[in-house]
């Protein structure tokens, strides 16, 4: 038991060389600057893809390649520069709302859902980038080419971002 306690204490009281400590200090400064710039920068969707199944985690997914043959698919998007609001309990709040629309080749809205997805959570660590999964039902959409438009609203700041992804429905 005493050896376990000593091991835990030695792991939590790590010592660093002066070069390592300088690097850690510089990283802390860079992270602080990154947070400041992110607060000023626009909300940004840096990745948007269509999936066969929900993503397992950020960047862990199987992208649909080619036409869509089923009535259900998943939209995956990575979002940057959202608000990270600290609370009084040592947690960080993120509150994003998603609107989706399916557009025809001329850009006309065929169907849309506002406030469809809500990603509101409190985390013990800062999520400088987050992702969303949205199930999209394509029932009744005839074969053809379309675009799926995603609009994200950061409730905490009012920032908005939009992105589109083309897709083709081809059922036999």
CATH of the domain at 87: 2.70.50.60
95 and 142: one domain?
A: yes
- In the prediction, which pLDDT does 12 show? 52
54 and 95 co-located in one domain: yes
Q: Are residues 50 and 89 in the same domain?
A: yes
> What is the rounded average pLDDT of the residues 71-89?
92
Q: What is the number of structural domains in the chain?
A: 2
- If asked whether residues 141 and 83 sit together in one domain, one would say yes
54 has pLDDT over 70: yes
Q: Clarify whether residues 85 and 149 are in a common domain.
A: yes
With a CB cutoff of 8 Å and minimum separation 6, the contacts of 65 are: none
- pLDDT at 9 (0 to 100): 45
Q: What is the pLDDT of residues 114-130, one digit of tens each?
A: 987 888 989 998 888 99
Same domain, 24 and 60: no
Same domain, residue pair 18 and 48: no
Choice between 128 and 157, residue whose per-residue pLDDT is larger = 157
Residues 134-167 as b or e (16 or more Cβ within 10 Å = b): bebebeebeeeebebbbbbbbbeeebebebebeb
Residue-level pLDDT at 10: 46
Residues 124 and 94 in one domain: yes
> Per-residue pLDDT for 11 more than 80?
no
Q: At 139, is the pLDDT very low, low, confident or very high (cuts 50, 70, 90)?
A: confident
Domain with 15 in it: 2-35
Backbone φ, ψ for residue 54 (5° rounding):
-60, 145
Instruction: Give the chain's end-to-end CA distance (angstroms, integer).
Output: 66
């Amino acid at each position: 038991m005493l050896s376990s306690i000593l091991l835990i204490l030695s792991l939590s009281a790590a010592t660093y060389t002066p070069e390592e400590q300088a690097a850690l200090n510089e990283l802390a400064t860079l992270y602080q600057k990154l947070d400041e710039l992110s607060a000023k920068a626009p909300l940004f969707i840096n990745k948007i893809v269509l999936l066969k199944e929900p993503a397992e985690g950020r960047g862990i997914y199987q992208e649909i390649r080619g036409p869509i043959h089923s009535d259900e698919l998943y939209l995956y998007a990575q979002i940057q520069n959202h608000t990270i609001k600290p609370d009084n309990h040592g947690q960080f709040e993120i509150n994003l709302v998603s609107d989706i629309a399916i557009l025809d080749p001329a850009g006309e809205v065929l169907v849309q859902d506002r406030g469809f997805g809500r990603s509101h959570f409190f985390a013990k660590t800062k999520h400088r980038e987050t992702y969303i999964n949205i199930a999209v039902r394509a029932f009744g959409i005839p074969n053809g080419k379309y675009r799926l438009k995603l609009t994200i609203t950061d409730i905490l700041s009012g920032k908005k971002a939009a992105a589109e992804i083309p897709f083709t429905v081809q059922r036999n």
